[in-house]
Amino acid sequence: MTQHHQARKRFGQNFLVDTHIIRKIVNAIAPAADDNLVEIGPGQGAITSPLLQLCPGLTAIELDRDLAASLAEKFGDEQGFTLIQQDALAFDFASLYTGRPLRVTGNLPYNISTPLLFHLLNYHHLIADMHVMLQKEVVDRLAAAPGSKAYGRLSVMLQYYCQVEPLFTVPPEAFRPAPKVQSSVVKLTPYNPLPAAAVDEALFAQLVKACFQQRRKTLRNAMKPLLPTKEIDACMVESSLDPRSRAEQLSVADFVSLSNLLAGGSG
């Protein structure tokens, strides 16, 4: 008999128990029998079980040792089920690539959701899509348009790599224990090829970070740590951007074009 698992605060654990929401998530993923499915933080296996019925090729990554033991007991006999007890933040997702792109899913622990999304973006070329549950506020930021309050570094970086499609909101009472916030399920589909590609992606990321670090600063001032004012102004003129504008007014394509000018590539 598996003992009742006490949710651990340090792992940001909230277990999904609402069968209607579970069904909605599984329907959104719509797994095929031969998919290369990866579930991050399966917890007590609420989504794992219906996913396995549709797609035996599922790899579950769970950090919590007790939950991993319980999952092994529950699904260990299922053919094609692989359990990896490891921190998803340190996991090499390329090791799961079989020639078949990864389809990633998970109720991402809220305390590490942003770094985990950035970690997953390192493997964007190996991923077909991601259906993840996050705090609603984070999903709003992912999907935000330029000029809105929620638009920031996270919006630009995710929208550079992926098409962002918020699917539905999940109320706190769908979980045990109930979190204090609303959650949302979002579908992220990595672009292949990228609609606007940065010549130097590290520089692009550095530029986006610098520009949003102090949102109230003009672009000219925000970019000062990166290069001399004279060169900034020249870049602005060439990219038809106003140096007095602020980061949240720039589209993803604007940031790409600006970073390509900085890299000496073509804007």
Q: Note the pLDDT of residue 110.
A: 83
The rounded percent of the chain whose pLDDT value lies above 90 is: 79
Q: What is the pLDDT of residues 161-179, one digit of tens each?
A: 999 999 999 999 999 989 8
- Any idea which of 21-30, 104-113, 120-129, 130-139 has the lowest mean pLDDT? 104-113
| Most confidently predicted of 1-15, 91-105, 106-120, 217-231 | 91-105
Q: What is the pLDDT of residues 147-164, one digit of tens each?
A: 999 999 999 999 999 999
Q: Note the pLDDT of residue 189.
A: 98
Give me the mean pLDDT over the 17-41 stretch.
97
Q: Note the pLDDT of residue 3.
A: 42
Give me the mean pLDDT over the 105-114 stretch.
91
- Give 75's pLDDT tier (boundaries 50, 70, 90): very high
- Any idea which of 4-8, 39-43, 75-79 has the lowest mean pLDDT? 4-8
Confidence (pTM): 0.92
Domains in the chain and their CATH numbers? 9-190 (3.40.50.150), 201-262 (1.10.8.100)
- Give 9's pLDDT tier (boundaries 50, 70, 90): very low
- Give 228's pLDDT tier (boundaries 50, 70, 90): confident
- Give 13's pLDDT tier (boundaries 50, 70, 90): low
Q: What is the pLDDT of residues 209-220, one digit of tens each?
A: 999 998 888 998
pLDDT for residue 6 is more than 60:
no
Give me the mean pLDDT over the 6-18 stretch.
65
State phi, psi for 145 to the nearest 5 degrees.
-95, 155
